[in-house]
Structures are given as C-alpha cells and as structure tokens.
Amino acid sequence: MNPAHRLAEIVTALERVGLTVLVMGGHAVRYYGIDRNTIDYDLHLSPADWDDLGLRLDQSPLAAGRPLTRGPSWRPGSFQRFLLGRLPDGRDEWLEFWRNNHLLPPFADLYGRREEGTYGGRPLAFLSLPDLIRSKETERETDWQDIAGLEEIHDGRLLHQAVTGTISVDQALAQLRSRRGLESFLQGGSLNDPAVVRQALAQTRLSITQAILLPSAGADASPPTASVPMEPVVVSRLRTVAPASPLHLALIEVVRRQYKLAMQNADGADKQAIRGAQTNPPPDNPRSSR
C-alpha cells in the first residue's frame, strides 16, 4: 500500500471512532504538489477529541485488538504520538496528533479555512496552503525548503484566482511571497497601478510581501509595521528601486532571510523554554519530584 492510501485508510479508521482531523506535515506538502517522501502521519486534532484520544484510538481498527504504544512527547499537552507498527523496511510507523500547534491559530479557525481534496483515493481535509506554510516556519532547515516550493505553488494559485476574478488583484498581491509570483504578476500588468498595490500593501504585515510590493506602490507608500520589521535603509531603497530589478530581487532575499532567521530563532527559543520548564519545574509544582 502506498503512503497516500495508507493515510486515507488511517483517516477512515479515525472517523469510525468519531475523531475529526486536518492533515498537515509531509502528506499535506505532497497533496499541494511537492514530491517528497514521508513516513509519518501528522494530523491536527479537534481539541474536543483530545482527552480521550488514546482510548478511542485503542478502540479503532488501527489498534487491532491491542493498545497502541504511546511515543515520547516533549509537548505532552499539545502533541501526542502513537506507534502504529513497523513498515516493510523496518522503520517505525508513527501517527502524530497536534492539539494546538504553537505556530497556528485555534483548530476552529484552521478547520474553517481547510482545503478538501482527493488523496489516497478518498476526500481528505488538509490545512489550507497559507496555514501549512505558517506551520513550517520552524527552526528546521528542511521545513524552509518545503516553504520555498509551497510559496511558488500558492502564488500560482493566487494568479489564477486573480485572473478568474475569484479574488481581487489587491487580495492576491497581499499574499505574494515568491520571486516567480512577483514576475508573473508583473508580466500580467497587475503591478502597474500604484493605488491597487497600496491597497495590497495595507493588507499585509509580512515583510517579504511588503518588500515585493513597495517598489510598485509609489514613493510615498507606507506599509503597516511588519511582524519582523525591515531596516529603515532597506525600506527607503525599496521605495525607489525598479520593480524586479536585480537590486530589488536581492533586497527581497535580504528581507526573506531576515524573516527566516527571526522565525527560526523564535521557534528555537520556544523549544528551549519548554525543555527548560520540564528540566526545572517550578518549586511549588506538586509533581516536581517526578
């Protein structure tokens, strides 16, 4: 059985015991169009299903009459993993659940903007593409490699949606992240009207998108404060540089790298804090003697 069909089989088994999930991780990356290998099953679970997750899994067809082995988790309140068995090549087959991911909004928001599509022979619910990209802004370099591909795919979708009128041009521009996206929208004339570009600029706090749009927004354009602010001298130059010129493209990458480093540092600090709390629990914690 190939991994996609195996995931579909797993989700079917989960639904039989009333569990609601969104697919994330490697299988979501594959669904959106990047060919890569993955042997884990990463799912975001509805919080309502969290407390008796283990019990329900043990009652599901996945357990085959014996309780599933719980794996280690250094975020036990947010993340659980269960050993399904062994793959033909001897590697472990893990099923992993997030209750709340530190990079993402609540499940209800994620579920409300999910994407449903056929995968492994049946319809499955996936994290939306923007949410999947956000979920991968971690300290791991491989996640950023996925992001690079996913950004291009998302920008391609945005172009199609803008051309067909599904979304407005400014809404599409407000989500751009890739160089190919910039070049496509520029070639299509979507960056020719500074008023439209300023409307887009007003909708985004992502520095990468702001760096993409600023040269086309007019010299007096003033974007909202970015979540990872750009250096003032970079912003000044972006206001005057020619769109998609070699310098513009280079400055986008300077800003992108600054954003990536900030996200990697934030994720690393978050993990350090959790590990530190587990190593040195507060003195008034009644379980600190464990």
Q: Which residues make up the interface to other proteins (CB under 8 A)? A: 148, 151-152, 177-180, 183-184, 231, 233-234, 236-237, 240-242, 245-247, 249-254, 256-258, 261
**Nearest distance, CB of residue 249 and other proteins, angstroms:** 5
Question: Is the CB of 104 or the CB of 208 nearer to other proteins?
Answer: 208
Measured CA to CA, the distance from residue 184 to residue 159 in angstroms comes to 8
Strand order of the sheet with strand 122-126? 69-70, 79-86, 92-98, 41-45, 21-24, 122-126, 115-119
Question: Is the CB of 100 or the CB of 184 nearer to other proteins?
Answer: 184
Question: Is the CB of 26 or the CB of 215 nearer to other proteins?
Answer: 215
Half-sphere exposure of 51 (CA within 13 A, CB side): 1
Q: Which helix (H) or strand (E) holds 105?
A: none
Question: Is the CB of 125 or the CB of 150 nearer to other proteins?
Answer: 150
**Nearest distance, CB of residue 152 and other proteins, angstroms:** 7
Quick check: helix, strand or coil at residue 219? coil
**Nearest distance, CB of residue 224 and other proteins, angstroms:** 22
> What's the Cα-to-Cα distance from 82 to each of 40, 86, 180, 205, 255, rounded to whole Å?
10, 12, 40, 38, 39
**Nearest distance, CB of residue 117 and other proteins, angstroms:** 25
